[in-house]
Each structure stands twice: as C-alpha cells, then as structure tokens.
Amino acid sequence: MRLLITAGPTREPIDPVRYISNRSSGKMGYAIAEAALAEAHEIILISGPVNLEPPGNAKVISVSTSDEMFEAVHRYADECDICVLCAAVADYKAANVSSTKIKKRGAKFSLGLIPTRDILDSLGHQQDRQFVLVGFAAETDHVEENAAKKLRAKNCDIIVANDVSGADSGMESDVNEVIIFFRNGEKKEISRAPKKNIARELVKIFLDFATKTFDKKNVMIN
C-alpha cells in the first residue's frame, strides 16, 4: 500500500527571524514511516522542520508552514491508500507578517492571530474520499473525551490520542502511550513503550483496517 504520513511541527512566521511553533520532534511520524517501509510499503513523508534523518526509500517532502503542509498533503492524498496525519500543525498564525524584524520596545506588544487551515478536517470532509484517514490528538486533559469528539468532528476513520501533559512521554520524548479510537466505537490501548515499538503496532492496525475497508468496498461494488 501507499501511505502518506505527516510529521513534525510547522513554523508560522512573525517576522524574518521569529515564528510560532510547538514542541513536536517528529519522532512518532518518522517512526511510523520507518515501520511501514520495513513492511515494504510505499511512503510519502511530508515533514515539518525536524532534526531527524529521513528514512531511506521514502519520498520526503520538506515544508515549513501550515499552508505549505496543507498544499503538499492535498497534492498527494488522493494517490494514497492511507493518510496518517501525525504532524503537530499550528492552530494559529500571525494575521500580519512583518517584512522586517520587529524591534523590542518598552511598551506591551500584541500579536494578532488567525486560524490556520485545518488539514485533517479538509480531508475528512472531502467528497468521495477513497483513502483511510488517520488523525492524531495530542491532549493535556480529558484525553479520551477530546479524542472521540475530534474523531467525529473531523470525520476520520481512526484517531490516535496521547497525553502530552508530562515531560516523560509524547512530544520530544522517545517513548509514548496511545489510545486508538475507531469510527465504529471500538477502542484499543497501547501501553507506554518506545515510539518505534508503538509505530510497528500502529502500522499493523492501520493496514488491517484499510484492508478490511477496501475488501468491503470491493464486495459492495461486485
């Protein structure tokens, strides 16, 4: 199968030297890409700025901003069987980007923000979508409730949720623990483990779900 995977953060510029970003390291997305490659699947990895070696044999597309990631995802999504949106895309960007460095002042400074385009929502509500859509939910509270709500709101097939409130798991860490929510109401937990181990389990789950989904569609068509 062909998988599109997004990974890492985005950087939303404020001026030529400053930007809005987050703590995402890209490790989970890259681990998923490596696990899928190990099973001989084709990978398109759309990556924000990270300090990681690109996985061999993957088609890697480097982006910086949420708009760049939006355009790249929509360019390749329909060519793929599974889209795994693991990247931590900024929710907001500067309403106005200064062409010159903003100087420090003694007075208070307010930065106007506007929402970025929602990549997951745009794919989830795409007409005649033929690919399996997997989203990620990084939460600090009410993890299960928020993830289940996101699954429904974004019209995903699967949501992978993790608690990022602590410093010892999730963002920037080499370990993680996740809860996988399925559109049929099922739920599966993967206990705390290295991200590479979790990635292998996730790939198995995604591929099994996709195979069953495509088999069902073929039966309906025939």
Of 92, 93, 68, 56, the residue nearest 6 (C-alpha): 68
What is the DSSP-derived secondary structure letter of residue 48?
-
In degrees and rounded to multiples of 5, residue 170 shows phi and psi of 85, -130
Distance CA 158, CA 29 (A): 15
Write down the residue that tokens 């080499």 correspond to. 174
Under a CB-based contact definition with an 8 Å cutoff, are residues 188 and 208 in contact?
no
Q: Which of 22, 146, 155, 197 is catalytic?
A: 22
Q: Is the dihedral of CA 189, 156, 47, 115 positive or negative?
A: negative
- Distance CA(29)–CA(7), nearest Å, equals 5
155 is catalytic: no
Catalytic residue numbers read 22
